[in-house]
A and B are shown apart, each in its own frame.
Chain A
Amino acid sequence: MRLRALLFAFVVLVIGACSSIDCPVENQVFTVYGVYSGEEVDTLHDTLYVWSKRSDGKDTLLLNRGVNLSNFFLPISNQHPEDILIFLVADTAGHYTLDTVWIKKEDIPHFESVDCNPTFFHRLTSVRSTHRGIDTITINRSSVEYETTSSTAHFHIDFKARR
Chain B
Amino acid sequence: MLMLLTTLGVGAQGFLKFQKDSIPMFRGFAVSFDLVGAAQKLLSDHGQYEGALRLNLHDQYFPIVEVGYGYANHEKDEVTDISYKTSAPYFRLGVDVNVMKKKHTGNRVYVGARYGYTSYKVDVSRPTYSDPTWGWQTNYGVSNEPCKQSWTEFLFGVDAKILGPLHLGWSARYKFRLSHDDGIIGKTWYVPGYGLQDTSSLNATFNVIIDI
Cβ contacts under 8 Å, B36 to chain A: 14
Decide: A54 and B135 in contact? CB cutoff 8 A: yes
Given contacts A3-B160, A118-B80, contact A111 B185 (CB under 8 A): yes
A43 → chain B closest CB, angstroms:
27
Within 43-63 of A, Cβ neighbours of B (below 8 Å) are at: 52, 54-56, 60, 62
Cβ contacts under 8 Å, B84 to chain A: 114
* Interface size class, chain B: 35 or more
How many pairs of residues, A versus B, come closer than 8 Å at their CB atoms? Answer: 99
Cβ contacts under 8 Å, B138 to chain A: 78-79, 120
Q: How far is the CA of A3 from the CA of B106 in the complex (A)?
A: 11
Cβ contacts under 8 Å, B133 to chain A: 52, 54, 60, 62, 75, 77
Write the B145-168 contact mask toward A (1 if CB under 8 angstroms, else 0).
000000000000010100000001
Count chain B CB atoms within 10 A of each CB in A3, A6, A11, A80 and give the residue with the most: A3
Cβ contacts under 8 Å, A52 to chain B: 133-134
Number of A interface residues in the complex (CB < 8 A) = 36
Cβ contacts under 8 Å, B168 to chain A: 7
Of B47-55, B87-95, B186-194, the one contacting chain A is B186-194
Cβ contacts under 8 Å, B141 to chain A: 109
Cβ contacts under 8 Å, B140 to chain A: 78, 109, 118, 120
Contact of A96 with B by CB under 8 A:
no
Count chain B CB atoms within 10 A of each CB in A13, A55, A60, A78 and give the residue with the most: A78
Contact of A108 with B by CB under 8 A:
yes
Cβ contacts under 8 Å, B80 to chain A: 114-118
Given contacts A54-B134, A78-B138, contact A108 B184 (CB under 8 A): yes
Contact of B196 with A by CB under 8 A:
yes
Contact of A4 with B by CB under 8 A:
yes
Given contacts A3-B160, A7-B160, A80-B131, contact A118 B126 (CB under 8 A): yes
Decide: A7 and B158 in contact? CB cutoff 8 A: yes
Cβ contacts under 8 Å, B169 to chain A: 7
Decide: A115 and B77 in contact? CB cutoff 8 A: yes
Contact of A141 with B by CB under 8 A:
no
Sorted from nearest, which 4 A-B pairs have the closest CB atoms? Answer: A3-B160, A10-B170, A55-B135, A111-B185
- Residue numbers of B with Cβ under 8 A of A are 36, 74, 77, 79-80, 82-84, 107, 124, 126, 131, 133-142, 158, 160, 168-170, 172, 184-189, 196-198, 204, 206
For the A-B complex with A7-B169, A10-B170, A111-B189 known, give 7 more contacts whose Cβ atoms are closer than 8 Å: A55-B131, A79-B136, A79-B139, A109-B140, A111-B142, A118-B140, A120-B138
